Every structure is written in C-alpha cells, then in structure tokens.
C-alpha cells in the first residue's frame, strides 16, 4: 500500500483476491503490509490492488542548501543513534573501500553542501549505469552490478546506500513506482527515461522502481535516483522503505503444492486532472 507522508497522500486503497481470501493488514513504521490467507485448494490466485495517490514534490530543489557547509550535522551522536539502522551495512549493502573511492570522486565534482554531494553522486552513478557492461572505463567493482541488468536499478540503489552510509549520511532504500507519461497511442514515450527503465521491463510491462532517500540537515528525507539521474519529484510514488531491498520486497509468502509456483505481475499507472 502506498505511503502517506509529507510528500504524498494515499487517498484510497483496495486489495481483492480471487479465490476470495481473508485479508489482514499490519501497520509498520515503513508502511502498511497486507497478508492474504488462502488455504483452500486452488490452481490460480489473483491479487488486484488499486490505489489513489496525490504527490506534492513539484520542485525537489526548492529546499536544498547546496552552498552551505553542513557536515557537522552528521557528527551529532544523538542523530547517529536515532538513525543507526540507516547507517549500518547489511547483507545487500556491504561496506567496501570502493564506496569510499566513489565518494571521493563525487566530492571532487560537488560543492560544499551535502545536497550538492548527493546530486554529484547521483550523476556519477547514473553515468556508470548508462554505460554498456563491456565499457573499458567502468571501474571493476561496478562490473558486478552491470553483469545482471535485470537487477541493475536495485543494485545501484544499494551501491548509493553504501556510499552514503560510509560518509555518515543516513540513507534508506525506497520501493515504489515511477510514472511515465503515455503517448496518444497508449504507449510510453521513447525518451531517455524509458530507456533507463527498459531494463526493468523484460516482459514489456511496467515494474516497480527503486531509489534512495537521504536525511538532509533539515531532518527531512530527500529522494535521489541514480538510475534516472534525478531527484524524486511528483512522478514518484512511494510504497515502502527499509534498510535494503529485503525489507521492502513487494511479494513474500508461503506456498504448498506439487508444482513450482509461477508469478506474473502487471502494473498500470494513470493520472487524473
């Protein structure tokens, strides 16, 4: 279920199951999680979720301080304790010297402010992301990320998390949707955004997107998307956040039967004026 916070409001959400099943919900700090309990024999289960969301991030640059030396904010022990889970490594976000080297390059390209550094880091990772896997200029540590293009957007979010956390900047993994405007024929416009998202769409359909939110000195979370080289704006719909992907997997459950389960997903996003 999409989140409701300062940047968006979920006005309506409906979840239906076929065959009919018992559906329960649990509110977690990172969002609401629904559980579907289907115990009777069945050959197919269909879950349909519909949500109406209003987003408010019209100008993501409006509150950024790009030319202020705000590094002292991140040395506060109280802050580091409050956001400890978003400063620690995880199995999917390990720390390595590579993260420090990437940060060093981004620092040289950035201004004095933390937001300026994060914009430079987003741009740097995007530049690597858009290179073909066999490009000679790619750093060896990033070859592993590009070796699996179907997971590249997720992995680049993890890489940005590692860099930020090594720099003492609390950072969390965001899972949600990115709205791509459709043409009159009903197909996404063939622009650079769609080219970047195409890696997620092996089946020709939209997929969930992932990006990073970092805590800025105003103690507000701000979104950065290295896959698309931009700050999160009102085209982004947040569903869940966590330490890494394992905290926010969209589907998780248990199945018992003689055949291996096969999961198909279909996502459609439209706008209302």
**CATH code of 118's domain:** 3.10.620
Position 238 in a domain: yes
What's the pLDDT at 170?
Answer: 98
Give the strand pairing for 8-18 and 46-55.
Answer: antiparallel
Position 11 in a domain: no
Distance CA 189, CA 171 (A): 32
Distance CA 50, CA 69 (A): 44
Residue whose C-alpha is closest to residue 176's, from 31, 25, 15: 31
Distance CA 16, CA 144 (A): 39
Q: How many CB atoms lie within 10 A of CB 24?
A: 9
Position 153 in a domain: yes
pLDDT range class, residue 31, cuts 50, 70, 90: confident
Q: What are phi and psi of 211, to 5 degrees?
A: -150, -170
Distance CA 58, CA 54 (A): 11
Residue whose C-alpha is closest to residue 94's, from 243, 255, 262: 243
Domain span at residue 163 reads 58-248
For the chain, first and last CA: distance in Å? Answer: 22
Position 137 in a domain: yes
Position 46 in a domain: no
pLDDT in tens, 221-267: 999 999 889 999 999 999 999 999 989 887 777 777 777 778 888 88
Token pair listed for 111: 């201004």
pTM, to two decimals: 0.83
Q: What are phi and psi of 258, to 5 degrees?
A: -75, -20
Q: Which of 132-136, 212-216, 232-236 has the highest mean pLDDT?
A: 212-216
Cα–Cα–Cα angle for 68, 73, 79, rounded to 5 degrees: 155
Position 100 in a domain: yes
Position 190 in a domain: yes
Residue whose C-alpha is closest to residue 202's, from 149, 271, 159: 149
Position 269 in a domain: no
In the chain, the number of structural domains is 1
* pLDDT over 80 at 192, yes or no: no
């Amino acid at each position: 279920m999409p989140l409701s916070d300062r940047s968006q409001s979920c006005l309506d959400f409906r979840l239906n199951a076929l065959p009919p099943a018992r559906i329960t919900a649990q509110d977690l700090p990172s969002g609401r999680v629904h559980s579907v309990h289907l115990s009777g024999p069945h050959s197919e289960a269909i879950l349909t979720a519909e949500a109406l969301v209003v987003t408010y991030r019209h100008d993501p640059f409006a509150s950024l301080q790009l030319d202020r030396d705000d590094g002292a904010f991140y040395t506060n022990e109280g802050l580091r304790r409050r956001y400890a889970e978003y400063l620690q490594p995880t199995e999917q976000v390990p720390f390595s010297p590579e993260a420090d080297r990437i940060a060093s390059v981004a620092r040289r390209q950035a201004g004095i402010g933390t937001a300026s550094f994060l914009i430079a880091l987003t741009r740097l990772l995007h530049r690597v992301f858009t290179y073909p896997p066999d490009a000679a200029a790619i750093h060896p540590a990033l070859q592993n990320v590009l070796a699996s293009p179907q997971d590249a957007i997720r992995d680049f979010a993890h890489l940005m998390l590692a860099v930020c956390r090594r720099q003492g900047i609390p950072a969390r993994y965001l899972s949600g949707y990115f709205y791509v405007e459709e043409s009159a024929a009903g197909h996404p416009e063939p622009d650079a955004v769609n080219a970047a998202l195409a890696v997620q769409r092996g089946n020709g359909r939209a997929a969930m997107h992932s990006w990073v939110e970092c805590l800025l000195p105003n103690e507000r979370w701000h979104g950065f998307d290295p896959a698309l080289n931009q700050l999160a704006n009102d085209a982004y719909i947040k569903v869940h956040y966590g330490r890494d992907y394992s905290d926010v997997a969209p589907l998780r459950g248990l199945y018992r039967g003689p055949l291996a389960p096969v999961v198909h997903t279909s996502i459609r996003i439209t706008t209302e004026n």
